[in-house]
Amino acid sequence: MSIQITGAGAPLSLRPADTSAVSTAKNGFADIMKSTIDQVNQAQNSGDKAIEQLNTGNAESLHEVMLAVEEADISLKMLVQMRNKALAAYEEIMRMQL
């Protein structure tokens, strides 16, 4: 009895890209979160810069400084709430019975 191995020298084919709905949603959610975090970071930096300009006397008006600081504060609160909702959804999914 002889054993023949066919195709042993052929390279493995690459797996096609995952285009399922779950993969697409995962990538979309990750992109949204990254974009939101970047926007919050920019708002925080703008608020810090406005405060620094106020301290050095270079700020045009207190009104603009307060707007920049409040925008940073509100955007950070929104990001924390998004995190809380995502965590609650994850915990709910983990409680589901299969």
- In tens, the pLDDT along 59-79 reads 888 999 999 999 999 999 999
CA distance 81 to 40: 13
Average pLDDT over residues 39-43: 95
| Residue 16 binned pLDDT confidence (cut-offs 50, 70, 90) | low
pLDDT reading at 5 higher than 60? no
CA angle 35, 44, 26 (to 5 degrees): 20
Both tokens of residue 54?
């106020």
pLDDT of residue 27: 75
pLDDT reading at 33 higher than 90? no
pLDDT reading at 44 higher than 90? yes
Q: By the 8 A CB rule, do 48 and 69 touch?
A: no
